[in-house]
Amino acid sequence: MPMLYENNIAQLLTIHEIYQEADFLDYARGREILAKYPDAKLIEIRTHNEIPELIGFAGQVEYWLQIQGL
**pLDDT, tens digit, 9 for 90 and up, residues 5-54:** 556 666 667 888 999 999 999 999 999 999 999 999 999 988 877 777 77
Residue 44's H or E segment, with its range, is: strand 41-45
Q: Which residues pair with 21 in a beta bridge?
A: 45
Residue 56: the pLDDT is 64
Distance CA(8)–CA(63), nearest Å, equals: 26
What residues have CB less than 8 Å from 42, skipping those under 6 apart?
A: 17, 18, 20, 34
pTM assigned to the model: 0.58
> What's the pLDDT score for residue 62?
75
pLDDT at 49: 76
